[in-house]
Amino acid sequence: MNKFLFFTALLMIQLISSCSDDDDATRDDESANLNALLVEIQEMASSVDCTDASDWTYTAYGNKACGGPVGYIAYSTNMDTARFLEKVAQHRRAQEAFNEKWDVISDCSLPGEPSSVRCEDGAPVFEY
């Protein structure tokens, strides 16, 4: 009977440790998906050269664990803004779900919101 309890305990320890490894892999996969979506958003935003600041605006992106955006991203109004803003919203929702699922903590600081966008060497630059 003692051997049975020993092997049962050993099996339980192995199952518990294997579950935590699976959770880490899933968290890593979800984090990689979030990062890939953010890269796609950044590529969309940088696909247009900034030559006229009046054609540019910005939006908040991401979702900190305490609430509020991770930052701001500039984009041209001469691009497919509906598709771009949907990607940004998709990322925000995914990051919020990730934060809740994995009990992510944050520093709770909020990034400063830009007042406008100017063009410098073909790239958008925030003014505060």
User: CB pairs under 8 A, 24+ apart, for 50-58?
Assistant: 50/74, 50/76, 50/117, 50/119, 50/120, 50/122, 50/123, 50/124, 51/119, 51/122, 52/119, 53/116, 53/117, 53/118, 53/119, 53/124, 56/117, 56/119, 56/124, 57/117, 58/114, 58/117, 58/124, 58/126
pLDDT band at 93 (very low <50, low <70, confident <90, very high): very high
Predicted local confidence at residue 22, as pLDDT? 53
Q: What is the pLDDT of residues 23-81, one digit of tens each?
A: 667 999 999 999 999 999 999 999 999 999 999 999 999 999 999 999 999 999 999 99
Alpha-carbon distance of 98 to 77, in angstroms, equals: 30
Decide which of 6 and 30 is more confident.
30
Residue spans per domain, the chain:
27-127
pLDDT band at 4 (very low <50, low <70, confident <90, very high): very low
